[in-house]
Amino acid sequence: MVKLGFFGGIKEIGGNKILLEDNDTKIFLDFGMSFNRRAMFFEEYLMPRSANGIGDFLSTGLIPDIPNIYRDDLLEQIGRKPEETDICGVILSHAHADHANYISFLHKDIPVYCGETCKYILEAVEEQSQRSIECEILNFKKRPIYKEEYKNPPIERKFNTFRTGKKIKIDSLEIEPIATDHSVPGSYGFIIHTSKGAVIYTGDLRMHGANAHMTKNFITAAKEAKPIAMITEGTRIDTDKTDESEQKVYLESKKVIKDNKKLSIVDFNFKDVDRFSTFYRTAKDLDKKLVISFKHACFLEKYHRDKKLKTPDSRDSQILLLKPKRLTGTYIDEDYTDWYIKKRLNYPNIITAEEIVKNPTKYMVVLNFYYFNMLVDLKPNYGTYIHSLSEPFNEEMEISYDRMHNWLKLFNVKFVQSHCSGHISGSDLYELIETVNPQEVYPIHTEHPEMFEKLNMNTHIVSEGGIYKL
Ligand SMILES: [Zn+2]
């Protein structure tokens, strides 16, 4: 018997954890964090307590209360006994937090299967962030952590990486990962061959990106598998076809930056390698240096390892690293205690805001909103800022968005929005599902599952914690 269980992130955008059972074989498809549900209870100064293990996460429904899946140490912290796991693996579709992050809580004996590049990105995330209980994907420290144990090495999780063409065998299941196009490299859709027939899981994908052919290959293979069921994302099921594309972002941005006679600032998600390539190309075309942060350098160096991505090294002649002001504010070596900065202080291509100010038109600075206090040093008066990210879609983002505009007004900086979504439009998605033609459709990762009923297909509006037999 084959069963599907849906936990978290089902009627919202992201955070899904899908349990697939084929007789005695149980696997999870993604185990993500739901931003929406988290924001219902927590904010900057009201956080889930790591001192309470998984207690706060279970109580607020951020993770499901299922036996045999969680870490021994986290169970013991809430007074439960450790359990042996019966989950054979987590198949991770891509490195976005709403798909990956709550792997952090899973039992150490559950192996994780993900794309090679997906693992690189998880490594880059780890390199430049502080350890937190919600981001212990690659490895974790047994809790509680007593003072004398601070220096103890973490417990590494078992990872198995794949590329398209490789088949994964987990007991009776055979899983075919096929690379798809999404706003992060190393994203995959899956054909899962069960004892009842093929089940398709789309992960997150799109048809309008720079690598649409990859999504097309996935669709073709999915159709050929004659699936009995398809679990599909539906982030933008309520949108019609648009004219958005990476090429459009490139052309718009290039024009804006070319016309700008002052400092150019851009912001985009560094996990989006296509967007990086767009701005890198723009910088090259306009003979400007692309100034990135030390955090970005961690990602770039990982991308550079994947020759298929064709991205430069962080020490490329077109790239500079912006040195942040720390401690004494005088840029001396001892100011830097974070290892990801410290180990790169000997790079030849490091620049300070003071040097940029001397000749601002020579540069394009990649500056995230959380580093906007650096605008005080960068003095971007009458310059241009390209916001190459999605527009705010919740209350918290609106507040940050207003604050961002206050900063830009302070320096009379022109605001330009130019972005192309990582998710498939509604009309493309209807077409995709009709082409694949599964016997049953399970929409997830969507606020509008009812819109899938438009399809003349057997569609299940799944409920949180619901178990469905195939
Ligand atoms: Zn995603």
Q: What is the pLDDT of residue 162?
A: 97
Q: What is the pLDDT of residue 232?
A: 97
Q: What is the pLDDT of residue 320?
A: 98
pLDDT classification of 395: cutoffs 50, 70, 90: confident
CA of 185 to the centre of ligand 1 (A): 10
CA of 21 to the centre of ligand 1 (A): 24
For the cut 80, the answer to whether the pLDDT of residue 63 exceeds it is: yes
CA of 421 to the centre of ligand 1 (A): 10
pLDDT classification of 8: cutoffs 50, 70, 90: confident
For the cut 80, the answer to whether the pLDDT of residue 10 exceeds it is: no
For the cut 90, the answer to whether the pLDDT of residue 396 exceeds it is: no
CA of 17 to the centre of ligand 1 (A): 14
CA of 29 to the centre of ligand 1 (A): 14
CA of 416 to the centre of ligand 1 (A): 24
pLDDT classification of 288: cutoffs 50, 70, 90: very high
CA of 465 to the centre of ligand 1 (A): 22
Q: What is the pLDDT of residue 150?
A: 86
Q: What is the pLDDT of residue 149?
A: 87
CA of 204 to the centre of ligand 1 (A): 5
CA of 349 to the centre of ligand 1 (A): 32
Please, which residues have CB less than 5 A from ligand 1, an ion? 96, 204
CA of 12 to the centre of ligand 1 (A): 13
Mean pLDDT of all residues belonging to the chain: 96
CA of 470 to the centre of ligand 1 (A): 26
CA of 96 to the centre of ligand 1 (A): 5
Q: What is the pLDDT of residue 105?
A: 98
CA of 94 to the centre of ligand 1 (A): 7
CA of 127 to the centre of ligand 1 (A): 21
CA of 10 to the centre of ligand 1 (A): 14
Over residues 363-384, mean pLDDT: 98
CA of 90 to the centre of ligand 1 (A): 16
Mind listing the pLDDT tens digit for each residue in 335-356? 999 999 999 999 999 999 999 9
CA of 34 to the centre of ligand 1 (A): 12
> pTM of this prediction?
0.96
CA of 97 to the centre of ligand 1 (A): 8
CA of 278 to the centre of ligand 1 (A): 19
For the cut 80, the answer to whether the pLDDT of residue 445 exceeds it is: yes
CA of 6 to the centre of ligand 1 (A): 18
Mind listing the pLDDT tens digit for each residue in 231-282? 999 999 999 988 999 999 999 999 999 999 999 999 999 999 999 999 999 9
Q: How many angstroms separate the CA atoms of 187 and 205, rounded? A: 8
